[in-house]
Each structure stands twice: as structure tokens, then as C-alpha cells.
Structure 1
Amino acid sequence: MTPLSGLLRLATRVSVAAAWFVRGGLCPLVAWLWRRSRLFLASRVFTPAATYVHLAVGWRGERGSANEPEVTDGGDGVGETRVEEGRREAGPGTAGPGDTDGEEDAALYRADPADELYCGYDSTWEAEVSDERTLAGSWRPAAPRPYKFSRFENAARDMYNYRHDYPLWDSFPISFVEQDDKPNLCFYLGKKPSLPDGVYIHNFHNDWYGNYDKLEYVHTYIQWLFPLQEPGMNNDASTLTKGEIEDFLANGTARENLLRSYELMLDFYGIMLCNEKTGEVKRASHWRDRFCNLNNHTHNNLRITRILKCLGTLGFPHYQAPLVHFFLMETLVRGELPNIKDSVLNYFVFAVLDKRERRNLVKFAYLNYDRKDEFVWCPRKIQMMWSGLSASEPGDGDKKDGYEL
């Protein structure tokens, strides 16, 4: 063998080995890194950038659309923008008590954008008519505000986007997951299993009910049981489409299965559904053990936020407020679940689509909050209006804003 032929043979072997590594090792590694990083990039980089641009330039579209801001002409001929609470806040495709407010309510709950605790993303309160601003242009006081308010404001962006039917996602055309023909609806009709677990909907309801270890430590099922229009952390799950939502709402089997999924997770958290018509919930007999688990595994806060969003999207918006009120009672009145209190106030309350229900929940929270000077979840003006009221003692049978204490 000549030295030249030896070098050629060595070069061939190196080339084959390199090709095998690229195809068999490097490509899957790159693909895995891409799958893991794209959701992070979307949620932490692209979405905040899109949010800033979206709010800075304003919406574009036909005047009067349910999810578009209403533009009114002022006396100087310059249009000012006010974000309206559209149908989305009362449930998809239906008008509800949260859609519109009477003149008395609107005047009562007007909030000044110059308020120390005014949050432009919190559409719970009416903006002052004389000082309507865009979200991006709202004036902010120069003095630093409480750390709790900063955390609330960050959460409010996400909840605002949900309540207004994801205007930011609509303006950001990225397909996070390749979808086949309505995978979430097919899953709920028992025609396909979840991925990657390979579990059908009836198996979840029959075999996973009461299997608390599986429900706690498996993290790839919640996106299938409670699908949303926003991506989750399971790359094998699909986001809801508008067509799926319409078909889901019109399908009795899918809705019944969603109700059973809700009861499955309520049992996991030590809660039971008392009234299927109203959505009223109460402690289950095994609540102590399950509350301990919930308090020690706070990733369930994300799951509960997803559940609340899904209920509002897929036909059960009236179930949202009773569940949130339950958690407010447990955290603020009964002193249980201290590790989820911040999530209840920052996320759970503001997942409620019905504006009036949301206001009542914030009021209930304020009246039962120990350190009212540290309460940051509504403007100071609203707090001053409520400051003359006091919370009833738990168990006295009184009711405030429709909620029994």
C-alpha cells in the first residue's frame, strides 16, 4: 500500500465517520436544542418585542371590531384610543354581564392613569373619560412603585392577552407546532391519544383519577386535558385553533369530557364540584393531604391558571369565578395555601373573563387582605372607595358581592 492510498483510505473513513455523526448525532442534538429553545425565545424574546411594537403603534383594522380599540375623535380632531372590554371577556361568542357596564358602574370604577397603582394591562377598571390613553402611552409616576406591583404588572400582560383573545399572537404569525386536522377535538372525542404519553381521554378519566403520583409528576398531559390558543411546554401538544373552538363548543361529548377532566383535577387538588350548573366548589374530604401537596408543589399554580383559561375558552366561563373565590377564601380568610397566594392574586383573579365578577373578586380580596397598604391589585382610588367597608368574620354567613364568607 502506497502512502497516498493510505491517506486516501484514512480520509474516506474520516469522512464517513463525520457524515454519520452529523446525521446520527448532531442533527438530533440540534433539533432537540431547537425544540427546547423556541418556546423560550417566543415567550421571553419575541412576544415582549411584539407586545411593545403592538402597543406602541396601536391596532389596525375596521372600527368597532370586538377586539379592536374604540377610536373617538376629540375636540381637537385627534383620535384617542380606548381598549374596550369586548365579548371575549364574557366568553367566546356570547354576550354576558361583563360585556357592558351601566353609566353608574362606569363612573364608579373609573381609574385615573396617573394613579400610583394604575396598570395599563388591567382592563378591570374604566379609564377616565377625560384622559384616555393607549396602553403604551399611559403616564407613569416618577416615584418607584412596590415590588409586588411590578410582579402584578408583568402578570397582567399575559392575562390581558388571554382575555382579549390573543391579539398579540394574531399579529405574530409563528406556527409553534405542526397540527393535523383538529387534534385537540379528536383527542376529546376519543379518536386519538395524547402525545407523547399515548393515553386516550377515557383512560385519563378512568385510570388516572385518584392516581396522584402520576398527576403530580407527569408533566405532558395538562396541555391535552386543557388546551389553549397559546403554546405550552409539551412540544407534542397542539395549540387550539379557532375552528376547533367553534366545533368544541358545539359538541356535547367534548364538553362533557372537559367537565370530567375538570373534576379529575379538582379531586387532585382536594376540591369537589358541588353544582354543575353554577360551578360552585368546596373542600373534598381529603383536602388536607391534597392542600399540603399543592402548597409544596407550586408548579401547579401554572396548571390552575391554564385550567381557568381553558374553562373560559371552551364553554365554561361561569366556572371561573367560583374556583377563584374558593382559592381567595382558602388563602386570605382561612390562612391555608400560603405558597399560592401570589398566584391567586396575580393570575387566577385576572383569568376571569366576566368584568363584574372580576371586580367583585378583587373587592373581596381587598376586604380580606391583612396589610391593605400593601394591596397592589387595583388603583388607589378604588381602594379608597372600599376603605370604609370591612371584611366579615369567616363563617358568619354574611355575603359580600354575591360571595358567602
Structure 2
Amino acid sequence: MKVKRSSTSATRRGSGCSRRRSRVTMSWLPRDRLCSAVAWLLRRTLFIRRLFAPMTRYLRSLTGWTGERSGEDGPQLPDQQADLLEAGRQGRPEECGGSGGQREAKPRVPEEDPEQEEEEQEDEECDSEQYRVDNTDELYCGYDSTWETEQTEESPAASSQIRPQRWNQDMSSYKFNRFENAARDMHNYRHDYPSQIRQRWNQNIAFDYNPNLEFYLGNKPSLPDGIYIHDFHNEWFGNYTNLEYVHTFIQWLFPLREPGMNQEASILTREEIEAFLRNDTARANLLKSYELMLDFYGIELCDKKTGKVSRASNWKDRFCNLNNHTHNNLRITRILKCLGTLGFPHYQAPLVHFFLKETLVNGELPDVKDSVLNYFVFAVLDKKQRRRLIKFAYLKYDRKDEFVWCPRKIQMMWSAQSASKSQEGVEGENDVKML
């Protein structure tokens, strides 16, 4: 009889444990499904992410959910319970709450940035096969390597390209011809210039050694004006008359590997660039020159780490001057090229985005808009940033039938994506109203 009672007790204990395990499993199952549903909604659109972000953070803190989906082994436990269970398996009772042991706090994982996630997703899409552009596309430009997947861009065989049948001589055709001519120049810059042209230019400056570096170190004045770098920074800052009407200083402040209008300025050599990049004094002085010209254009540098810029307090007067004196468009193109050459390529995209926003969104600087689209955008060395800038420009451009700075195939995909997101946004707003 004792044996039978013991067997019955064991059976009851086993069934009780099974019921408890069942209740634990069933209690986690609804929560896991709910969290999976919330995660699906969060991944659905950026609009819903931003709308439900506060609610999601509250639910995560309340339930301890980490965002991991359930696998084949059943529902996932919260981090703390899983850690305690693992500690118990490894024979560490002090970490399971016994003997007063204190568990070390885990570092908080920063939340993911929805905008960064969207940019990374766009980058992956642009590298996919569907973004490959055939040279028969209506707006294909052989000098624009923005949509190539290779890291090293190749020079185009312009003479052997199969050119598509051009449309009638309307505004689109005129804009595309101008873009194609500009693209040739920007292609040469992004590819470090053809060797035969570089060799010819180097012959003209062989007599002088590192003139641009010596100027930026304060050892040599500019020619023909005879002004030292520190005099530019101290005496010319805010002197808008000199900055506007003197045309021989810009080649010294922002030297390139191509000649400019000042015949007494020297172009950069490869050795000079390498020495410049290793010299902290030269780089610091270049940053001061950049701020000098930004102030002249009504812009201020907000973040020296990222290159973010914004309107300065004097932006209205300076924008008016920029609209009335279009030769400054050439200067800005030179500045962008110099930033990419002499160690500040991450400054390029923020400045170009600023001009895109001012011209296409705010309606300012109408006489700068064509230069922004033909030259500024394509001076950006980072291909991914260049793609984002072009997409921003396309989505903000009024007459999309006249947008010629991107192949037609990609424009159609962007339009479809934009329409889909707009529809999802409307549906999301309707859902919110119904709650």
C-alpha cells in the first residue's frame, strides 16, 4: 500500500508539473504573438514606426520583450529570466537570487534609427539587379556612373555607346544636353582626371615645389595679390566686396588638380595632396577658408564633425547676391571638389543637400538650381550619398517629366515607391481615426 500511495503521489506531482509548464507556455504564447504582430506593423511603414514608437517602448519595458521571434523550441523568455535560468543550469545559485548575490546590469542597447534603416534599405535596393540601367534608356548618360555597382568606376567609351533615339527638341532635351556636358567634367574629377591631361598640366608646374601647401602653411603668399593665408582669414572675413569682385584668390584658397582662371595659381600634384592630408595645420586652415566662403554665401557650419550646414543670420542679403552673381556657382563647384580632394569628402553631401532644399523646397536661389543639379550633386564622391541626393531632388522636383538627371527606369521605380508609401500613409491615418 505504501508503494502504491507513493506511485500515486508521484503521478500527481508529474501531472501538476505538466499543468504548470502548460500554463507558463500558454501565458507566453499570446504575448509572443502580440509582439510579433507589433513588430510586423513596425516594419510595415516608417509612418507607423513613428506613430507607435512611444507605445512600443512602453510595451517593451512592461513585458521585457527584446524583439526576438520564437523559434522551433517554443516561446522566448525575457532576457533577465533567460539569464537566470542559464545561471541555474551552470550551478551558479548566487546569480539566481540565492545567498543575496547581485546580478550585474546589462548595458542598454541603443534603439535603431528608422531613417538610417531606410537609407540602408535604399542602398541595398540600388545595388540590386532591378536598378541596373541599360544604355538604351531614354536618359542614359555614359559619364554618370552613379548607378554602377562596381566600387571602382570605369571611364565610359562614349564613342561606342548606343545612343537612344532622342525625343523632340523640347526643354527636356535641352536640359539633358547641358547635363551631359557637365557630367563629362564631373566624371573627370571623380576619376582623378585622365592621365594624359594630368601629365600635360604637371609639366607646367614642374618648376615650383608644393606651392599650394606652402601657401596654406603661411610660408608663401598668393599670386598675383601677395596675400598670406592668415590675412585672408583675418582681414577678408566679412569683406564681401573683395570676396565678390576679386577673382584671383579662389584658386589659392581651394586648389584643384585642374587649372583655373588665375594663370599664376598652381594646380595640385599627387605628392602635394598626400603631404597636405598629413599636415594638421594645412587642414585646419582649409576649414577656416571653407567657413570664410560659407559666411559669404549666407551659410554657417553647424557641426565640424559631420559638415552639417544651415542658414546664417545674414542669409537673405547673401542669397540675393548669390542669385545676381552666377559666377559664384563655379566657385561652389570648385569648393566641393577641393573638399573631396583634401580630406573633407564627408562635407560634400550636407552642403549639396542644403542647396537642394533651398532651391527645390524653399524656392530660394532660382539661378543656382541648374548648377546644383548639373554640378554640385555629381561632385559628391560617395556614390551612396549621391544616389540619395538625386532621389531627394527627383521627389521634390515639380515637373518630373523634365527631370533628366537620372535614368527613366529608376525614376519610374521611385514614382511607384512614392505612390505606394502615400497610399500606406493614408491607410495608416484612416486606421488611427478608427481607433
Structure 1 length-normalised TM: 0.68
Aligned to 1:396: none
- How far did 1:172 drift? 5.1
The one-letter amino acid of 2:181's match is: N
The one-letter amino acid of 1:158's match is: D
2:313 is the counterpart of 1:313: no
Residues in 2 aligned to 1:300 and 1:125: alpha-carbon distance in whole angstroms: 29
The one-letter amino acid of 1:342's match is: D
Residues in 2 aligned to 1:118 and 1:294: alpha-carbon distance in whole angstroms: 32
- How far did 1:102 drift? 6.0
Structure 1, gaps ≥5 residues long: 1-96, 394-405
2:139 is the counterpart of 1:112: no
Aligned to 1:143: 166
Aligned to 1:226: 254
Taking a change above 3 Å as real, the CA distance of residues 139 and 355 of structure 1, as seen in their structure-2 partners, is same
Aligned to 2:283: 255
Which of these residues, 354, 357, 360, is aligned with residue 385 of structure 2? 357
Aligned to 2:17: none
SS in 2 for 1:338: coil
- How far did 1:173 drift? 2.4
- After superposition, the C-alpha distances for 1:84-109 in whole angstroms (9 at most, x for unaligned) are xxxxxxxxxxxxx99xx868724243
Which of these residues, 328, 351, 370, is aligned with residue 323 of structure 1? 351
Residues in 2 aligned to 1:364 and 1:122: alpha-carbon distance in whole angstroms: 17
- How far did 1:389 drift? 4.4
SS in 2 for 1:331: helix
- How far did 1:144 drift? 3.9
- After superposition, the C-alpha distances for 1:198-226 in whole angstroms (9 at most, x for unaligned) are 00000000000000000000000000000
Higher alpha-carbon deviation: 349-358 or 104-113: 104-113
The one-letter amino acid of 1:307's match is: I
Taking a change above 3 Å as real, the CA distance of residues 198 and 126 of structure 1, as seen in their structure-2 partners, is same
Which of these residues, 295, 298, 305, is aligned with residue 267 of structure 1? 295
Aligned to 2:148: 126
Taking a change above 3 Å as real, the CA distance of residues 345 and 168 of structure 1, as seen in their structure-2 partners, is farther
2:362 is the counterpart of 1:340: no
Equivalences for residues 155-166 of structure 1 within 5 A: 155-166=182-193
- How far did 1:133 drift? 7.6
Residues in 2 aligned to 1:310 and 1:111: alpha-carbon distance in whole angstroms: 30
Equivalences for residues 1-400 of structure 1 within 5 A: 105-126=127-148, 134-144=157-167, 146-170=173-197, 173-174=200-201, 175-177=203-205, 179-390=207-418
Residues in 1 aligned to 2:283 and 2:402: alpha-carbon distance in whole angstroms: 41
SS in 1 for 2:200: coil
The one-letter amino acid of 1:220's match is: T
SS in 2 for 1:306: helix
Residues in 1 aligned to 2:223 and 2:367: alpha-carbon distance in whole angstroms: 31
What number of residue pairs does the alignment pair up? 292
Residues in 2 aligned to 1:139 and 1:284: alpha-carbon distance in whole angstroms: 47
The one-letter amino acid of 1:261's match is: S
SS in 1 for 2:224: coil
SS in 1 for 2:310: strand
Q: Which runs of 4+ in 1 moved over 3 A?
A: 101-104, 132-135, 168-172, 174-179, 389-393
- Bigger relative contact order, structure 1 or 2 (CA pairs below 8 A, ≥6 apart): 1
The one-letter amino acid of 2:249's match is: Y
Taking a change above 3 Å as real, the CA distance of residues 283 and 362 of structure 1, as seen in their structure-2 partners, is same
Give the helix-richer structure, 1 or 2.
2
- How far did 1:177 drift? 4.4
Residues in 2 aligned to 1:133 and 1:222: alpha-carbon distance in whole angstroms: 31
Aligned to 1:23: none
Structure 2, gaps ≥5 residues long: 1-118, 423-435
Residues in 2 aligned to 1:214 and 1:233: alpha-carbon distance in whole angstroms: 17
- After superposition, the C-alpha distances for 1:244-286 in whole angstroms (9 at most, x for unaligned) are 0000000000000000000000000000000000000000000
Compare CA radii of gyration and give the structure with the larger one: 2
SS in 2 for 1:387: helix
Give the strand-richer structure, 1 or 2.
1
Taking a change above 3 Å as real, the CA distance of residues 133 and 316 of structure 1, as seen in their structure-2 partners, is closer
Higher alpha-carbon deviation: 381-390 or 228-237: 381-390
Q: Any conservation in 1 of the 2:125–2:131 contact (CA below 8 Å)?
A: no
Residues in 2 aligned to 1:135 and 1:127: alpha-carbon distance in whole angstroms: 19
- After superposition, the C-alpha distances for 1:168-192 in whole angstroms (9 at most, x for unaligned) are 5556524344541100000000000
Q: What is the percent sequence identity of the aligned residues?
A: 73
- How far did 1:379 drift? 0.3
The one-letter amino acid of 1:260's match is: K
